[in-house]
Amino acid sequence: MREFLRNAFAVNDQTPCVASEEQRELLERLADEIARRRMTGPALAFLEMSRPLNSLGASAIHFFTPIASSLANPVALKHFAEFLDQRGSVDLLCNIIEAAQTRRDTAINTVINTAINTALDSTQDASNKTPDKG
């Protein structure tokens, strides 16, 4: 009896969270929207604080799907709830959000650097074309 109870409440933490293709697309869209709205910090803080409740959140999504289907895509809700049911889903979602923020920051920095370089080049060209008063 003692041997039976030893592993009665064991949880396998070694299984990595794997998102299906549909779930991955949904998570990428969600992460891109979070990054676009510059809500990465609050989103990551919320996910970390609610980490122990991700399974409960998945159950709540399943429960409210009939009502929420009038506001959101019921298939997307189902995929998101199935994703949250997995252990490690919060870690994967945080990684996807951080990657989206990094992509956004890189794109913004590229645009800014291009604009600065263009402005500097045009300033140098204008200064080279002005005749010398000497």
Q: Name which of 37, 43, 35, 31 is nearest 104 in CA terms.
A: 35
Give the domain ranges of the chain: 21-36+54-104
Q: How many CB atoms lie within 10 A of CB 3?
A: 6
DSSP H helical ranges for the chain: 2-6, 21-36, 40-49, 54-68, 74-84, 89-129
- How many Cα atoms are found within 13 Å in the side-chain-facing hemisphere of 2? 0
Predicted confidence (pLDDT) per residue in 108-132, tens digit: 999 999 999 999 988 887 777 766 5
Rounded average pLDDT over 88-92: 93
Residue 89: predicted pLDDT: 93
Residue 83: predicted pLDDT: 95
Predicted confidence (pLDDT) per residue in 32-60, tens digit: 999 999 999 999 999 999 998 988 999 99
In the predicted structure, residue 79 carries a pLDDT above the cut 80: yes
In the predicted structure, residue 104 carries a pLDDT above the cut 60: yes
Q: Name which of 87, 90, 85 is nearest 12 in CA terms.
A: 87
Q: pTM to 2 decimals? A: 0.78
